[in-house]
Chain A
């Protein structure tokens, strides 16, 4: 929308709350109102993903219309007169909230989303509390904790369907859908199997889409605190490349601030015995992957090699395209390589029993919780997982806050050495297309024996396009590469 040249687009004149405004033809009332500085409350609306007019929170009055209309889907028209905040509109929204509360468990204090819940915020804005909710039957649901990464509690679900639309349209996995009808309608997997038994790839995008506490991330900070407090345990933590670029944001710093130094200091103050950068392990992954790529280039087997350290993508491939599994590289992801090294090489060097080492990771994606729980990820022996607990950036934020550490005031410290030495290649993991670029760089340098001038292989980096293709000559061989961002582009 922002790139539209307004002179070439038909503009529509309308009045919103008696204020004359103009908006491009085809806009919805919601969009036109927003452009005119008027917010309209929504719950089910997710731009471009879920525009279904189901929750009815965004109802507005349109002069001449026989009933209220939903601003999120109703197109504007020349001369239209819209009223977004009349008594009638407010009353309708309040009744709607009272109805939604009546199917909700209303247990805000124990809810992980409390304070960030869209339903809670709207109830506060519209002066609706739990005493006003309609009384009546509630559906009884079992909590679905069958996946390592999320908890689904349908007693808090308001049936906005944002999760369903995200899974279907953004991820193209459709692990969840709407079942039953009427009052019994609920979100679940086909044939009501648990999410853990479904084709879910653990990407966690439904958690982001959920406006309430119906889908929340599995939080394992208590287990981390317990490990730190246990003198018999040696607790090491690794942070993924991208965490240093996102953690600052949750403490109110500008988006993208590099807080590597403050983060290392904070982790040390939290009581971790070793504070490491996953970058080192990322380098190892790159070396492994580049070596495997060069091998396959020689033998011609299982080409093209489909590089990926994303456990969501690996699960997607297992579920939907098992025929391509041989094309995946056999090496572990950086998180798992770090864990494997910690419980083998590192344990030996420090004279520790691998069973006494607790390996924590801080990762940007919930699929990492699934990955470290896979049965095939135990390098030090059966029952000794490479990584014990994978935290999200948000969980780390919580630990720092609970410990009373004023993050902004942390000094800049370094990661611990040994596993803390990294090249630039590992850093590249943090950017989209970075793994591909790093692998190509490493392969080219190994094949040619020359260090590369910067920048090459940049064509595959960035999120401007979902699918990027390029051709390079490396060591006399023509290599065609394709870089895919977003699971939906993989199909």
Chain B
């Protein structure tokens, strides 16, 4: 799995000696890969349920909230809302009204899988943290909303809940206190929009998973019209260490306004792909723990925040990555997907890729998202197919701004981000597609032409045999030619040519 390091060493090295792990600060992933996730004993041996015990016996609900508030923990689901503040909003009328605590495990960003890893590798940390949250706001019932495509996560979580119930760590009178809390798993059908909090709750209620306008906010009127808090898996995984180690310990990690660590799912054109947990404020350059880009290619940009985020160009590679800095450069943290792109990546194509995802995942409730994103995608298609005009660029910018400002929920409000961000940093590439009908990265097929240099061609016929469209004509030992009408631009000929005679423009 680790591309370079172990190969270079010749033998397998310990985690401490492996750069990839050595450079990380693992709070969220503290137990992942370390303990048997199906064993509550192993979790307890790593201080498991000590934080819940401490909260229930040593702290008031308000002091729990105060602790989370002063730790500076912000929601890891994407928007970065202060977790303690969210809890505080829902803390009124304890014991008088029904309240709910929910966990968002509907991880949907393409390429992000930190929530899945925590649920698979350390499910008790989420169970324990949800019980603490329930104690803090005065809730007696919780739901974990997890996608059905995560069967191992669902299985491990189910085992964890069962074990906790058997040991009296869930249920009535936990640790012989007055606090009772029950937890249930709700399976989602894998809709991206159900990661949006109101849509998630609507889905738990058994209805079509669609968002509804806020206010009312879930802290006032959420699941089953009761005050509800919803936090993401990674957020919950931070709770127990904060309770046990204190706010100062946590606040010492990270940047000024973004405390603690963040798990990133490194993907794309990078040697070591996978999850890395680093302090907030780490720069992209420092994340070279990914091992750099294969084949000596140049770094072009990195996409953060998945389909809701934007790209960080090479010029901003030294930006300390935290919530606020990412927003200021036109992207967002999102759930922590980090996709590295090299010089062979077409940024118009990338914008199209992410937009295709949101068009597909839009719930269809509001006009800007349902129709607007589709029309935006069609405008991008015009450009990548060589039919675009400079007026289309203006239209794209106007429509993107409209969708951002007028959509009902976060999905629509952030859907144009990949387009706006690539336009901001790679406008030249859009213009090149439109004005010169050229895709500089050589990705957009409609704009490519393959040519055979007759001077270099030896007439070996390898290309003609490889061509699936029968587009290459020529006889043995004579220079070949490509019939551009027939060519499907697959690039197969270029790969097969041993004489470097085929070029693409």
Partners in one complex: yes
| A159 near B364: Cβ-Cβ < 8 Å | yes
Q: Which residue of chain A lies nearest to B408 when distances are taken between CB atoms in the complex?
A: A53
| A54 near B366: Cβ-Cβ < 8 Å | yes
Which of A96, A135, A159 is the one whose CB lies under 8 Å from B406? Answer: A96
Q: Which residue of chain B lies nearest to A70 when distances are taken between CB atoms in the complex?
A: B213
Complex: how many Å from CA A312 to CA B411? Answer: 41
Complex: how many Å from CA A103 to CA B378? Answer: 13
Which of A103, A134, A158 has most chain B Cβ within 10 Å? A134
A55 proximity list for chain B (CB < 8 A): 366-367
Which of A74, A92, A103, A183 is the one whose CB lies under 8 Å from B359? Answer: A183
Besides A54-B366, A96-B368, A137-B378, 15 more A-B contacts (Cβ < 8 Å) are: A53-B213, A54-B408, A56-B368, A59-B406, A68-B406, A70-B213, A75-B215, A91-B402, A92-B406, A99-B368, A99-B375, A136-B374, A159-B370, A185-B363, A185-B370
62-84 of chain A: CB within 8 A of chain B: 67-68, 70, 73-75
Which of B360, B363, B402, B407 has most chain A Cβ within 10 Å? B402
**Interface assignment of B117: CB less than 8 Å from any CB of chain A:** no
**Interface assignment of A314: CB less than 8 Å from any CB of chain B:** no
| B367 near A56: Cβ-Cβ < 8 Å | yes
**Smallest beta-carbon distance B156→chain A, Å:** 30
| B365 near A54: Cβ-Cβ < 8 Å | yes
Complex: how many Å from CA A13 to CA B194? Answer: 37
Given contact pairs A55-B367, A137-B374, A182 touches B360 in the complex (Cβ within 8 A):
yes
Given contact pairs A53-B213, A56-B406, A70-B213, A183 touches B364 in the complex (Cβ within 8 A):
yes
348-362 of chain B: CB within 8 A of chain A: 359-362
2-46 of chain B: CB within 8 A of chain A: none
**Interface assignment of B67: CB less than 8 Å from any CB of chain A:** no
Please encode chain B, from 197 to 216, with 1 for each CB lying within 8 Å of some chain A CB and 0 for all others. Answer: 00000000000100011010
Given contact pairs A99-B375, A181-B191, A92 touches B365 in the complex (Cβ within 8 A):
no
**Smallest beta-carbon distance B214→chain A, Å:** 9
| A182 near B405: Cβ-Cβ < 8 Å | no
**Smallest beta-carbon distance B385→chain A, Å:** 14
Which of A54, A59, A73 has most chain B Cβ within 10 Å? A54
104-138 of chain A: CB within 8 A of chain B: 134-137
**Interface assignment of A402: CB less than 8 Å from any CB of chain B:** no
**Smallest beta-carbon distance A87→chain B, Å:** 13
| A181 near B406: Cβ-Cβ < 8 Å | no
Q: Which residue of chain B lies nearest to A182 when distances are taken between CB atoms in the complex?
A: B362
A135 proximity list for chain B (CB < 8 A): 378
A56 proximity list for chain B (CB < 8 A): 366-368, 406-408
Complex: how many Å from CA A75 to CA B402? Answer: 23
Q: Which residue of chain A lies nearest to B369 when distances are taken between CB atoms in the complex?
A: A182
Please encode chain B, from 103 to 138, with 1 for each CB lying within 8 Å of some chain A CB and 0 for all others. Answer: 000000000000000000000000000000000000
**Smallest beta-carbon distance A378→chain B, Å:** 42
Which of B208, B367, B413 is the one whose CB lies under 8 Å from A99? Answer: B367
A-B residue pairs in contact (CB < 8 Å), sample of 29: A53-B213, A54-B366, A54-B367, A54-B408, A55-B366, A56-B366, A56-B367, A56-B368, A56-B407, A67-B405, A67-B413, A70-B408, A91-B402, A92-B405, A95-B399, A96-B367, A99-B367, A99-B375, A100-B367, A102-B371, A134-B371, A135-B378, A136-B374, A136-B375, A137-B374, A159-B365, A182-B359, A183-B364, A183-B370
